[in-house]
A and B are shown apart, each in its own frame.
Chain A
């Protein structure tokens, strides 16, 4: 049976963001289709529309040429479309079969017919080589098996199209191989699979075709035979509309931040940063490139001591600050713009003026009291200099759009007079105008002699702003470049974890070329 799904001209707005801009995507029967893109590229939104979780603003979805309407996830599953989330939606104290029939209303009137459901579960499990025992409590299963329960849940509901969101992010490599085997079995049975991911090697290994998304648009769909990891990496991170920054000559100063052999674990004890050493000087922007989740944020948090350092040392202007508190770091002159603007960088419920004080609350004082007047005048100054619009200084910060909120946070951190500024994904999800003004301010901070550590997944941003760039992959620094002598190709490869470029396909940016750009 042919079973082709087509999404045509899907448009989806969120307040202040165009998440999907006339996106079209076709998924054939019996193919594994990879959806590739950075965080915020719009792939999650597209998939949420497809499994009925979000309503699209406009566009059409067809199955075998017939237009379909999705107003809930139930509609989607009735049409054979289901999703396996990154976070599993399972009841740990229920058995496998109980989890699978949860919400189905399966049985004889009010009574459950568990034996029948169990045997169907077992059949499906055997057929696709999942080796699941229907009677085992899900909470006792390892993560990889729990994922199979999620897949089985969809198969039980006769899903023809399975969407898997970052399916390998929680798996060990053995579990990953078994997952791929299951997915290949499913493909053989004529089902279609969409995997949402940014892991290039897995796409090459598993998928038949790949669609790359960026900034809410589809850049293209390629068959795996006709593309390479290198090309995909470039498509994924290369920005099309390039705001350009004029960067004056670098005046290198004294080292401000020095990191020696830093190792950092995440909450689960997995090593996220491995033996990273680097040095950032006054008046320089040091870029850290890398696909999300390769340890960048953990590195930034560890420098500020928001995260426990397992081993290694951090020096600020020559003094060892490895073990000092966040407040002391701030007092010593580290500013930090976190990647999570709403969750970490600001307090949505407090006013804009109160958010200007965040992190500097011990400084905005008169005698023992808070100096509200000073905070308000700072807020006015920031609003004017950075063009923060959308909410007055006395309305809550949650009302600000992403770009304006980011300007507020960046403004606060830049004007605090710090000698080291750490910025994590400063322009993610922002429109070109906001990007330009943020770039300008970062360069201005550099001019004033601030050492800037710029963490970004945007290659263009790094090439425009950074003096030196380190590529981080899997918590390790792959290589450090002087910015003028690196090409997009080289960086793309390193970001994908390929240490030595095959052949010499990559030509470094030539000085003349760069000069033209600016």
Chain B
């Protein structure tokens, strides 16, 4: 019998094919999740409308989506830089925390009357960006150094280092930086150091602009600069990279440093833009969710901000949905997880091509049978 699908030796890799299979995967994820909506007696169409109306149909909700999207996008960009360079770093949770701690500390140091004294935002912000970037860069760069010098496994070391960062932050907020009071947290950061709000009447802050700028920068680095080319070659094929005169070890340490810096910026954005104080648990797993955003973006830096907006927006919509329709917001987790799994699994589809002539034959035969019946 003629096969309806023929197997390809090399997967179709045109942007169109990728978009088609990704769309198919997302539709499948939504279809499966629809079953859960039915279980709670909700119409899936209304539920999906509710899920997307709040974050993208209302100004207030959109502001919240921007707040959620900014750190996600920055972590995702860090993931892209490191993974495409062949450095499989998973320590963005830690980078986030050390970045948040660095920014928080710097901000508190500018309280009127303290060491740095009050700084105008135009001076403070570049300083904060530089400081967080460096601290996060050293944090992740150390892991890269351990890998290239001593052959350490970056996956294990970076995962473990997340705990070190978490306990370090706990120490800071319950010790040296603790505000007088009962909770282990710092005092509110001076208002002058907050990221400006960019959407009047919402919580939307300038963090998203930092994320957009970072996305453009990462795209330019990987696609337009010789350094980025060297990073990508290193990631694909270290032997070819060495042959091409690329210093593989140095590139990998650079990738680790820069990726860690981006992760730290995510922490900075969250603490200066949204939380306005340091506390335990400030990351809320953003360091891991950001990796998922990178995967959904298929490690393409230009896709990161839109994907982060959708992903962040969905969590905003889920909260609203729970408030209004009493559907548990965890259904959104199911939707998100299914989307990740199916999008990644959809790669296998690109190995097959539908055999339309066989399809036609199939139909013909079916109609023949009907005719004779």
A358/B240 in contact, CB under 8 A: yes
Residues of A contacting B237 with CB < 8 Å? Answer: 343-344, 347-349
Q: Number of A residues whose C-beta is below 8 Å from B? A: 35
Return the contact of B229 from the options A326, A338, A370, A398 (Cβ within 8 A): A370
Tell whether A322 is near chain B: CB-to-CB under 8 Å: no
A365/B233 in contact, CB under 8 A: no
Majority-rule SS of B interface residues: helix
Q: Would A369 and B232 be within 8 Å (CB), given that A306-B243, A344-B240 are in contact?
A: no
- Which B-chain residue is minimally distant from A375 (CB atoms)? B229
List CB contacts (< 8 Å) of B225-261 with chain A.
225-226, 228-230, 232-233, 236-237, 239-240, 242-247
Residues of A contacting B13 with CB < 8 Å? Answer: 396
- Which A-chain residue is minimally distant from B237 (CB atoms)? A347
| Contact digits for B263-296, partner A, Cβ 8 Å, 1 yes 0 no | 0000000000000000000000000000000000
List the count of A-B residue pairs having beta carbons below 8 Å apart: 73
- Which B-chain residue is minimally distant from A368 (CB atoms)? B225
B229/A361 in contact, CB under 8 A: yes
Q: How far is the CB of A430 from chain B (nearest CB, A)?
A: 20
CA–CA, A359 to B226, complex, Å?
Answer: 11
- Which A-chain residue is minimally distant from B240 (CB atoms)? A347
CA–CA, A33 to B302, complex, Å?
Answer: 61
B245/A327 in contact, CB under 8 A: yes
Tell whether B45 is near chain A: CB-to-CB under 8 Å: no
B240/A325 in contact, CB under 8 A: no
| Contact digits for A396-428, partner B, Cβ 8 Å, 1 yes 0 no | 101100000000000000000000000000000
Return the contact of B239 from the options A327, A328, A343, A359 (Cβ within 8 A): A343
Residues of A contacting B246 with CB < 8 Å? Answer: 327, 361
Return the contact of B243 from the options A359, A361, A364 (Cβ within 8 A): A359
- Which A-chain residue is minimally distant from B245 (CB atoms)? A327
CA–CA, A369 to B245, complex, Å?
Answer: 19
| Contact digits for A362-402, partner B, Cβ 8 Å, 1 yes 0 no | 10110011100000000000000000000000001011000
B224/A361 in contact, CB under 8 A: no
- Which A-chain residue is minimally distant from B232 (CB atoms)? A350
Tell whether A336 is near chain B: CB-to-CB under 8 Å: yes
List CB contacts (< 8 Å) of A341-360 with chain B.
343-350, 354, 357-359
A358/B10 in contact, CB under 8 A: no
CA–CA, A350 to B223, complex, Å?
Answer: 12
Residues of A contacting B247 with CB < 8 Å? Answer: 325, 327
Residues of B contacting A346 with CB < 8 Å? Answer: 240
Tell whether A22 is near chain B: CB-to-CB under 8 Å: no
Q: Would A344 and B226 be within 8 Å (CB), given that A350-B233, A398-B10 are in contact?
A: no
Q: Number of B residues whose C-beta is below 8 Å from A? A: 22
A370/B236 in contact, CB under 8 A: no
Tell whether A222 is near chain B: CB-to-CB under 8 Å: no
CA–CA, A346 to B240, complex, Å?
Answer: 6
A354/B244 in contact, CB under 8 A: no
Residues of A contacting B230 with CB < 8 Å? Answer: 361
List CB contacts (< 8 Å) of A195-219 with chain B.
none
Residues of A contacting B239 with CB < 8 Å? Answer: 340, 343-344
Residues of B contacting A327 with CB < 8 Å? Answer: 245-247
Residues of A contacting B242 with CB < 8 Å? Answer: 306, 326
CA–CA, A325 to B226, complex, Å?
Answer: 18
- Which A-chain residue is minimally distant from B223 (CB atoms)? A370
Residues of A contacting B223 with CB < 8 Å? Answer: 370
- Which A-chain residue is minimally distant from B10 (CB atoms)? A399
Tell whether A137 is near chain B: CB-to-CB under 8 Å: no
A350/B243 in contact, CB under 8 A: no
Residues of A contacting B236 with CB < 8 Å? Answer: 347-350
Return the contact of B244 from the options A340, A343, A359 (Cβ within 8 A): A359
Q: Can you list 30 A-B pairs, Cβ within 8 angstroms, ordered by A?
A: A15-B9, A306-B242, A325-B245, A325-B247, A326-B245, A327-B247, A329-B245, A330-B245, A336-B243, A340-B239, A343-B237, A344-B237, A344-B240, A344-B243, A345-B243, A347-B233, A347-B240, A350-B236, A357-B229, A358-B240, A358-B244, A359-B243, A359-B245, A361-B233, A364-B226, A370-B223, A370-B225, A370-B229, A396-B10, A396-B13
Binding site for B on A (CB under 8 A): 15, 304, 306, 325-331, 336, 338, 340, 343-350, 354, 357-359, 361-362, 364-365, 368-370, 396, 398-399
